[in-house]
């Protein structure tokens, strides 16, 4: 049987995904028509980006699953017309990209590389960093990306604490959860990495009160979601020295507006949402596997829990 797969994303994404998707589907033995336009009642699967023009899923009466191209689903999970199973993107490319961004920036701040990169201006001043085992790094969020980064940081020798809303177990990592656990996790967070999903429970998680729990001069890395941080509270904490530096890859509005205070602040590094991009080749294999599973009446991978929002 041949299935119809609607590619519901922007035109530039279609150019990048058309060939890898067709190749991946063929490798999985799936006979498929893949296109950007089908009659809604003829669509079996939707490969989806939340910025697509498809916002009403009601006409897609025979659709078996919506397969998200992005790791984040906060912009679609609340859509009341979406009654089909929704799978988020979890793939090797996303995970490896995030590991590389996180470990690179953690090492940058741990080693104090900025002073060397910008030059010592003739002052032969040695500031010897502690060994990684004596540097407290906290990863907030222990899903697929957070757990992978926590393991990688532990592998580099860091003293790693992980926090999540519910219990998790990551080998070699001190894992905490709940409100009390969050306070404990932040108390030792000389470097904090934010990798939580954005939900009603996590929006503005890093507010003035929680920023004050961190060791003075701590560093925040946010490759997760922009709205995890109260922007005004962060700027205030940077100005006071409570937070020593913030390296931010995600923002409430993207691209970050040219007049935003983050651009000009000397203790903020802005990166243009590059920490973990979906790579068409690896993401296509995940999508193809889920289509294969749907046709074989097997459970889909990476289904979203609508109640939790991720």
Is 285 tagged catalytic?
no
* Given 151, 252, 265, 273, the catalytic residue: 273
- Average pLDDT score over residue span 144-154: 97
What is the residue range of 166's domain?
Answer: 92-270
Rounded-to-integer distance, Cα 196 and Cα 162, Å = 11
CATH classification of the domain holding 102: 3.40.50.720
Q: What is the pLDDT at residue 115?
A: 87
Is 225 tagged catalytic?
yes
Judgement on whether residues 17 and 134 belong to the same structural domain of the protein:
no
Judgement on whether residues 48 and 138 belong to the same structural domain of the protein:
no
Which pLDDT tens digit goes with each residue over 51-81?
Answer: 999 999 999 999 999 999 999 999 999 999 9
Judgement on whether residues 240 and 221 belong to the same structural domain of the protein:
yes
Computed over its alpha carbons, how large is the radius of gyration of the chain?
21
Judgement on whether residues 127 and 184 belong to the same structural domain of the protein:
yes
Tell me if 135 is assigned to some domain: yes
Judgement on whether residues 221 and 251 belong to the same structural domain of the protein:
yes
Q: What is the pLDDT at residue 296?
A: 98
Which pLDDT tens digit goes with each residue over 252-286?
Answer: 999 999 999 999 999 999 999 999 888 999 999 99
Beta bridge partners of 191: 137, 219
**Under 8 Å between Cβ of 3 and 40:** no
Judgement on whether residues 60 and 193 belong to the same structural domain of the protein:
no
* Given 108, 135, 210, 225, the catalytic residue: 225
**Under 8 Å between Cβ of 60 and 46:** yes
Tell me if 300 is assigned to some domain: no
- Average pLDDT score over residue span 30-52: 97
Compute CA distances 124 → 88, 115, 193, 240, whole Å: 51, 11, 32, 28
Tell me if 302 is assigned to some domain: no
- Average pLDDT score over residue span 105-128: 88
The model carries a pTM of 0.92
Q: In the chain, count H helices and then E strands.
A: 9, 12
Judgement on whether residues 176 and 287 belong to the same structural domain of the protein:
no
pLDDT band of residue 118 (cuts 50, 70, 90) is confident
Judgement on whether residues 244 and 194 belong to the same structural domain of the protein:
yes
**Under 8 Å between Cβ of 72 and 93:** no
Q: What is the pLDDT at residue 278?
A: 86
């Amino acid at each position: 049987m041949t299935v119809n797969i609607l590619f519901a994303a922007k035109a530039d994404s279609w150019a990048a995904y058309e060939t890898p998707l067709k190749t991946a589907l063929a490798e999985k033995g799936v006979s498929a028509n893949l296109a950007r336009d089908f009659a809604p009642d003829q669509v079996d699967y939707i490969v989806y980006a939340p910025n697509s023009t498809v916002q009403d899923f009601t006409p897609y009466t025979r659709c078996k699953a919506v397969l998200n191209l992005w790791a984040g689903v906060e912009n679609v999970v609340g859509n009341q017309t979406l009654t089909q199973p929704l799978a988020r993107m979890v793939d090797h490319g996303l995970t490896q990209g995030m590991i590389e961004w996180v470990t690179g920036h953690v090492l940058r701040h741990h080693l104090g590389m900025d002073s060397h990169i910008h030059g010592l201006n003739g002052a032969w001043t040695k500031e010897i960093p502690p060994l990684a085992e004596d540097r407290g790094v906290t990863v907030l969020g222990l899903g697929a990306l957070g757990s992978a980064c926590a393991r990688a940081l532990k592998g580099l020798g860091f003293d790693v604490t992980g926090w999540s809303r519910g219990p998790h177990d990551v080998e070699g990592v001190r894992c905490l959860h709940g409100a009390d656990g969050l306070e404990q996790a932040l108390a030792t967070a000389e470097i904090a990495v934010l990798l939580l999903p954005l939900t009603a429970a996590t929006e503005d998680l890093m507010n003035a009160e929680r920023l004050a729990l961190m060791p003075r001069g701590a560093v925040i890395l946010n490759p997760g979601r922009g709205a995890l941080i109260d922007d005004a509270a962060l700027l205030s904490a940077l100005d006071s020295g409570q937070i020593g530096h913030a390296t931010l890859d995600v923002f409430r509005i993207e691209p970050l507006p040219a007049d935003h205070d983050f651009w000009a602040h000397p203790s903020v590094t802005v990166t243009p949402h590059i920490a973990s991009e979906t790579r068409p080749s690896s993401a296509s294999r995940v999508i193809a596997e889920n289509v294969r599973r749907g046709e074989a009446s097997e459970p889909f991978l990476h289904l979203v829990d609508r109640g939790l929002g991720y």
